[in-house]
Amino acid sequence: MTIETKMNAPSGANADARAITAEMMAAFEALKAANDARLDEIERRGAADPLVDAKLQKIEASLDRQRTALERLALEQARPAIGEEASKGDTEHKSAWGAYLRRGDEAGLHRIDFKSLNVGTEAQGGYVAPPELDRLIEQRLMASSPMRQIASVRQTSATVFRKPVSLGAQSAWTAETGSRAETMAPTLDLLEFPAAELYAMPAATQTLLDDAYADIDEWLAEEVEQSFASQESAAFVTGNGSNKPKGFLDYDMIADASHAWEKIGFILSGGAGAFASSDPADKLIDLIYALKSQFRANARFVMNRRTVSAVRKLKDGDDNYLWRPGMAGESASLLGYPVTEIEDMPDIAAGSFSIAFGDFRRGYLIVDRQGARVLRDPYSVKPYVMFYTTKRVGGGVQNFDAIKVMKFAAS
């Protein structure tokens, strides 16, 4: 007797992910075919057919949509259940906070000793949000911010996070019974990451606040996420460190052959505002191997979508494409290393630093000061209720050997 068996059909998010991945692979094959046709046309006629260029743009747009859909599915699967943490908290604590958000009732906050800000009066300063809301905001920012996903993130209660870094300890060889001269003390550098204030002012209608079924914490976290994420992303890449984090592209740049601490080393692309006209992959390989071996294992490329569009068309000497699309939620890869798209990276232009490569987990540090703060304001923009929400965030490079960049210049 034989028993027939069959695999369960994939369902839900897994089925969607597989379908999108299949579409992406088909689109990538179509992109390669169209780009090959474009290159043949350039060789034969000296210029590309506008129809082929238009087809290529449509395929690229399709690939971008499919990638975005995959990322959205991955975020939905990774997102924690709303209210899961809050349900474990104290009922009175949650009730008092809800009463403040919905009706402006501060009596419950005073009764359970909610912490008000230490500037001005409570009515002017607002209140430190409960840990549940603070964690919900951080979880959403982690899911929506590319830099938070690839960098190190630390929590601190101080306004400035200080990290000592060893620049090398002195040592020497000696025989088993030989004399040992005193070695010099190790050289240390103290890195400082001040936490700057980031704020948002989402507005709600009183109808929403009166709706008992509306999760106000979830709504507030979602509104704040959208505002905070865009500001953070720009600051982590290009911020100047003045009342904001210092972006990794704002540090002094120096040719990698002369690399020094507190500077970011760069490799030239070989072309003025472009890749080298011949063997462009060689410069990307130079960028990879500018990084020390201990950082390459977890390294990745970082660039914006327009640079990705240019890189997708590059080939090696054997006529193979350097780009490989991601599979089922995994990052796309370039020369075997994952690629993270960050829109705040600059476009390719003369002298631009449009591609970064490195171990960002070891190279860049994001510092979150614990305690988001909320001030309820029903007066400034009637009939809406504004929620002035602030959190303190800092950031900067913590290891200057772990990140390299490509400068688009010939010399």
Position 87 scores a pLDDT of 45
The span from the CA of 72 to the CA of 16, in Å, is 11
CA atoms of 64 and 70, how far apart (whole Å): 10
pLDDT score of 294: 93
Rounded average pLDDT over 335-353: 94
Residue 211 has pLDDT above 60, yes or no: yes
Q: What whole-number percentage of the chain has pLDDT above 70?
A: 78
> Whole-model pTM?
0.75
Q: Which of 269, 347, 267, 281 shows the shortest CA–CA distance to 308?
A: 347
Residue bearing the bigger pLDDT, 185 or 43: 43
The pLDDT, as a whole number, for residue 123 is 43
- Packing angle, helices 50-78 and 131-144, rounded to 10: 150
Mean pLDDT of the chain: 81
Separation CA 124–CA 119 (nearest Å): 8
Question: For position 86, what pLDDT does the model report?
Answer: 41
Please check the confidence at residue 394 and state whether its pLDDT lies above 90: yes
> In terms of Cα–Cα distance, which of 241, 228, 242, 154 is closest to 389?
228
Residue 114, pLDDT above cutoff 70: no
Please report which confidence band the pLDDT of residue 341 belongs to, taking 50, 70 and 90 as the band edges.
very high
pLDDT tens per residue across span 128-153: 877 778 888 888 888 788 999 999 99
Q: Name the band, by pLDDT with cuts 50, 70 and 90, for residue 82.
A: very low
Among 9-18, 90-99, 239-248, the range of highest mean pLDDT? 239-248
Averaged pLDDT, 315-331: 79
Residues 6+ apart with CB under 8 A from 404: 256, 264, 265, 266, 267, 287, 290, 291, 356, 357, 358
